[in-house]
Amino acid sequence: MALLPILRYPDPRLHKVAAPVAVVDDRIRQLVSDMAETMYDAPGVGLAATQVDVHERVIVIDVSEDGDDLRVLINPEILWASEERQVYEEGCLSVPGIYDKVERAAQIRARALDRDGKSYEFEADGLLAVCVQHEIDHLDGKVFVEYLSRLKQDRIRNRLRKQERELSKV
């Protein structure tokens, strides 16, 4: 397993739309293992392949308290989303140190392939529903800050660019 570098907003590669995985093979299973290790190390509760500059539809999620409930979603799709909405304060490994409120569907039903390529469906609410929607957005080339006002987006972009400049001086 290996830790993968995580792209940081506003990197344009975060806006690439991920392609469906044609075959779940050893290469994809290795990607899943590396992504899980990267997510846990960061630490985070979700990671999309887009964030590690792999533009295929692969997500890892673990919203458990103990970090012992890894979910693998390959070619995920939302089959149904409730009309009821919820607001959660979201953060993102690609937008370090930034948190803001985003409104999303309160409940979803989704379908994906697991790490063995078997199709499964599940329902989710709360943090898991938020996380699935957030990570699928990454696969579709969207970062959570794009739900915020243009002013907030500009401030976040400028703050992260400043952090990058300061880090490169060290």
> Does residue 12 have a cis bond before it (omega within 30 degrees)?
no
Per the annotation, does 55 bind a ligand? Answer: no
**Beta strands of the chain (E only): which ranges?**
46-48, 58-61, 71-81, 85-92, 95-105, 107-113, 119-125
| Buried/exposed 141-158: b ≥16 CB within 10 Å, e otherwise | bbbbbebbeeeebeebee
CA distance 55 to 52: 8
Identify any residues that bridge with 102 across adjacent strands, giving them in sequence order.
88
Selected catalytic residue, list 90, 123, 135, 166: 135
Per the annotation, does 134 bind a ligand? Answer: yes
Per the annotation, does 138 bind a ligand? Answer: yes
CA distance 21 to 117: 10
CB of 14 within 8 A of CB of 139? no
135 is catalytic: yes
CA distance 100 to 96: 12
CA distance 107 to 44: 21
Binding site feature residues: 92, 134, 138
User: Any idea which residues carry the catalytic annotation?
Assistant: 135
Binding site feature residues for Fe cation: 92, 134, 138
